Chains A and B, each alone.
Chain A
Amino acid sequence: MEVGRLPISAALKGKLVSAGYTSLSLLSSLSPSHLARDLNISENEALDILKHAPHDGRIDTSGGHHIISGAQTAWDMLHEEELLTRITTSSVDIDNILGGGISCREVTEIGGVPGIGKTQLGIQLAVNVQLPVHCGGLGGKAIYIDTEGSFMVERVLQIAEACWDDMLANNAISQNVHAGQVGMQPKDFLENILYFRVCSYTEQIALINYLDKFISEHRDVKIVVVDSITFHFRQDFEDMALRTRLLSGMALKLMKLAKKFCLAVVLLNQVTTKYAEGSFQLTLALGDSWSHACTNRIILYWNGNERYAYIDKSPSLRSASAPYAVTARGIRNNVSNCKRIKLM
């Protein structure tokens, strides 16, 4: 393996090459102190480099299928996918087009014009994830990362109360009361939402880097909602190339979080106009390179006076749209008397 492929800084790579170590097998028998002396670096740095040297036990040639550690066959993944539960959105129509709700291990991006209900949907999901599994949730906590300041605690309490009422009604009908769950008060919903407020893009990146450690300490977190992911990257960024790099790095980290801890990541995004094919069209913010950062994408739009949700991108779901409504109780199915407010 070439030294050029090691995840170390360019300066260290240069030192390795000029000292004569061009291939990793030459490093495999060295002690850190010897390497440190050779290259004129600290012993810690030498230890870092030698971590990547091939050990004899790493390459297993026993000939089985799972030699490459971390691989899974499609058959195993099929069974895992069937067992995966989803988070309901409280609107049966949207749940139907999503195949049951927002799925774990995937990054879902939800975008739409202002006022369509993105934050409402984010809050609804943060509340719904705490429901027990038989009610459509995952019985876990939620992390809510707020970049715009649109998180209203009173609204969360309102939605939580409505959710609790529904849960009680369902329990009464099905007579399926689990011990300890009837005792959940609306205020308990608030306790399980972990809220972070970020005020700049550096804070956002730092927080996402920190989430790995945070979630390994709080293993019952099942959803991360970022509202909105693009706000701090849209203004005041002169260096577009840097922005692309930061965003794609952030996207990969979120993907890794979702897969590693088996949770759902929901990113809310704004829209902007784009000039394409001779006309101006609405498209999600941050451009083409960001549009590849999610596994699924849902676009919320107005159709006449009604709100619709449309699946724009998904590896396994069909493209479909479903109407929904934002009510005092949260996101619900569309009832025809929900009107759009016309601005004069």
Chain B
Amino acid sequence: MSEIGRRFTARRVNRKEGQRRAQESHSCCSALLVASFGKVTIVQGMASLKRLETEFPILDPDFQSFCALRGIFTVQDFLIRDLQSLVADAEQQPSSERFMQAINQVLYVIDGLHQPWLNGVDLMEDAQKNKHVLSTGCEGMDFLLRGGLRRGQVTELAGPSSSGKTQFCLLTASTVAYKHMGGVIYIDTGNSFSAKRIARFLNQISCPASEEMQPRVLQEVMNSILCHSVYDIFSMFDVLHCLESKLKYQMCRGDNDERLIIIDSISSLITPILGSSGSQGRALMVSAMSLLKKLAHEYNLAVLVTNHTVGGDGGIPKPALGESWKTLPHVRLLLSRDCGSNTYQVSLLKHPSIASGKAAKFIIND
């Protein structure tokens, strides 16, 4: 960007001096070329009115200088400004009709930027067609969750150490890969992904009579489970963004087969940044969950995250990550294991459509 562009940016920051500086750069405005704003896209909402002129000739330089006098240079400024006063001002101008048309044009562009409104019928159709339930491979858990993990929802599994969270994640990954023929993305923060265990689970699921699964079938199923090791939250953001682009591309081609994202465990990524001075840690946590929820909803994925527990009142373990975390996942489960055995107990802490407090037991065999 040139000297002109630099003044332009400075102007966005100092809106109070908008009028004075607008006079200064008024003459520069008309000299600006479209090319210098080439990279700014309409989708970001930061499109300048200058850029829109090429597509909508009604936004001519007169209208642009009318807006510039009021400190409006981009679509975003338009959104922030008081529309009533702008309309009132426009009516007092000599070419008020053209200005009104231009204002309407910009509003039309803005309308095209947000997601389409959905009504209840659309949502119901979407739920029935896309948001199915994935069985977890574990009867007690499926019974508790009325079928299993629902696509489009984020499920949290909390439990004390060695209570079976990783085992449950591996079992769910194997079941989804085998029964639902879907892709599984396993994001592992503690080097606990064990391919041998997955192979054992797959043998159990497919051939209960303890035969070996055919290597070719085993290879195909295991090739649909992808494992990532991440060790800090920013790497996790990178992985999720790459995944988002990949899913977008697959959606265009129509062959989307990813079904499940597992993050084991998300609490070990968030704990190092949570609670320090400033709310940056909490902001990152909320940002991560909103990204996961967006991926879950738009691409019809189920998301399973694990959390550890900390001591609560009276020594009863409660899930970690604090109060603000409690509102983020859709479904929350608390897991515990009977000492030294293979029997696990799970209770429902939060669910959008089932009463909380229900519990179930299940066994995971070796």
Chain A residues packing against B (C-beta within 8 Å): 1-2, 4-7, 10, 18-20, 22-23, 25-26, 28-30, 34, 37-38, 59, 61, 63, 65, 67-75, 77-78, 80-82, 105-107, 241-242, 244-246, 248-249, 251-253, 255-256, 258-259, 274-277, 287-289, 291-295, 297, 312-313, 315-316, 318-319
- Within 214-266 of B, Cβ neighbours of A (below 8 Å) are at 218-219, 222-229, 231-232, 234, 237, 239, 241-243, 245-246, 249-250, 253, 265
Whether the Cβ atoms of B271 and A289 lie closer than 8 Å is yes
Q: Which 7 A-B pairs have the closest CB atoms?
A: A291-B161, A78-B195, A313-B162, A316-B194, A75-B222, A77-B195, A249-B272
Whether the Cβ atoms of B245 and A315 lie closer than 8 Å is no
Besides A65-B226, A253-B231, 8 other A-B contacts (C-beta < 8 A): A5-B234, A241-B275, A244-B271, A256-B229, A291-B160, A292-B190, A292-B265, A315-B192
With A4-B284, A61-B249, A77-B227 given, is the CB distance from A248 to B160 under 8 Å?
no
What distance in Å separates the Cβ of B33 from its nearest Cβ neighbour in chain A?
A: 15
Whether the Cβ atoms of B246 and A68 lie closer than 8 Å is yes
Whether the Cβ atoms of A74 and B198 lie closer than 8 Å is yes
What distance in Å separates the Cβ of A111 from its nearest Cβ neighbour in chain B?
A: 12
Whether the Cβ atoms of A67 and B310 lie closer than 8 Å is no
Whether the Cβ atoms of A288 and B231 lie closer than 8 Å is no
Whether the Cβ atoms of A71 and B268 lie closer than 8 Å is no
Chain B residues packing against A (C-beta within 8 Å): 1, 6, 9, 12-13, 39-41, 44, 46, 160-162, 166-167, 170, 185-186, 189-199, 218-219, 222-229, 231-232, 234, 237, 239, 241-243, 245-246, 249-250, 253, 265, 267-269, 271-276, 278, 280, 283-284, 287, 308-311, 315, 317, 320, 340, 366
A277 to B194, CA, bound (A): 33
Whether the Cβ atoms of B227 and A4 lie closer than 8 Å is no
Whether the Cβ atoms of A289 and B1 lie closer than 8 Å is no
Whether the Cβ atoms of A70 and B275 lie closer than 8 Å is no
Closest B residue to A274 using CB positions? B315
Contact among A20, A22, A293 with B13 in the assembled complex (CB-CB below 8 Å):
A20
User: What are some 6 contacts across the A-B interface (CB < 8 A)?
Assistant: A73-B225, A81-B194, A106-B191, A258-B191, A288-B309, A289-B271
Whether the Cβ atoms of B310 and A288 lie closer than 8 Å is yes
The residues of B that contact A29 with a CB separation of less than 8 Å are 39
The residues of A that contact B317 with a CB separation of less than 8 Å are 288
The residues of B that contact A312 with a CB separation of less than 8 Å are 162
What distance in Å separates the Cβ of A156 from its nearest Cβ neighbour in chain B?
A: 28
Whether the Cβ atoms of A37 and B197 lie closer than 8 Å is no
Whether the Cβ atoms of A75 and B195 lie closer than 8 Å is yes
A293 to B232, CA, bound (A): 14
Closest B residue to A244 using CB positions? B271
What distance in Å separates the Cβ of A74 from its nearest Cβ neighbour in chain B?
A: 4
A107 to B191, CA, bound (A): 8
Whether the Cβ atoms of B242 and A255 lie closer than 8 Å is no
A252 to B283, CA, bound (A): 20
What distance in Å separates the Cβ of A30 from its nearest Cβ neighbour in chain B?
A: 8
Whether the Cβ atoms of A20 and B195 lie closer than 8 Å is no
Contact among A78, A294, A295 with B222 in the assembled complex (CB-CB below 8 Å):
A78
Whether the Cβ atoms of B194 and A25 lie closer than 8 Å is no
Whether the Cβ atoms of B239 and A68 lie closer than 8 Å is yes
Whether the Cβ atoms of B268 and A248 lie closer than 8 Å is yes
What distance in Å separates the Cβ of B363 from its nearest Cβ neighbour in chain A?
A: 14
With A4-B283, A67-B242, A252-B232 given, is the CB distance from A315 to B311 under 8 Å?
no
Contact among B44, B161, B284, B310 with A313 in the assembled complex (CB-CB below 8 Å):
B161
Whether the Cβ atoms of B271 and A73 lie closer than 8 Å is no
